[in-house]
Amino acid sequence: MNAKHQGAERSSVVDVGEVTARRKQLALIAHDNRKIDLLDWARFNRDTLAKHDLYGTGTTGGIIADELDLPVNRFLSGPLGGDQQVGAAIAEGRIDAVIFFWDPLEPHPHDVDVKALLRIAVVCNIVIACNRATADFVLSSPLLDQEYAPAYAHLPADVAVENSV
């Protein structure tokens, strides 16, 4: 069984009539200059976020937990390895989507970690929203409450093509 399916088994399942909705594992991350933006977005979307399992890096996770009174599983701070921990969780199939309000105009000492996180999200076919507009579309998508795990999600393109024939 691959990691994506293992993660799906651990998630809570809620039966809402004809549709079975699975709680998603959502990682929330924000650079210092964007923490207020993420908090404002999270407040607006609190009811939706409360239906899912939340993860956050260091300070961001603490702010979201305190301000929204929601449980947030916390990784280390981004510069201290939190971005890498989120990336590892993605690779292991334990994260379904990342809301990452990053600041592309400000240099960061851990830019390589940020790039690695963005890369693994794309490679593993994980939703990654880097601004409020995209985050709004993600949370309002009907796919958010459905199982979404294509069999090829964690395979490189050439392997996925070979296996799908």
Whichever domain contains 96, its CATH number is 3.40.50.1380
**Catalytic, out of 83, 96, 113, 145:** 83
pLDDT lower than 70: segments of the chain: 1-21, 107-110, 149-165
Residue 105 in contact with residue 46, Cβ under 8 Å? no
Residue 103 is a catalytic residue: no
| Nearest CA-CA partner of 136 in 49, 17, 31, 14 | 49
| Nearest CA-CA partner of 97 in 48, 157, 40 | 48
pLDDT value, residue 10: 42
Please give the tally of structural domains in the chain.
1
Q: What angle, 0 to 180 degrees and rounded to 10, lies between the N-to-C axes of helices 35-44 and 132-140?
A: 30
pLDDT value, residue 107: 67
Residue 8 in contact with residue 20, Cβ under 8 Å? no
The DSSP bridge pattern shows strands 97-101 and 53-57 to be unpaired
Residue-wise pLDDT tens digits, 96-135: 999 999 887 776 666 788 899 999 999 999 999 999 999 9
Cα gap 62→113, rounded to integer Å: 21
Would you call 148 exposed, middle or buried from its count of C-beta atoms within 10 A (0-12, 13-18, 19+)?
A: middle
**Residue 27 belongs to domain spanning:** 3-164
pLDDT value, residue 163: 43
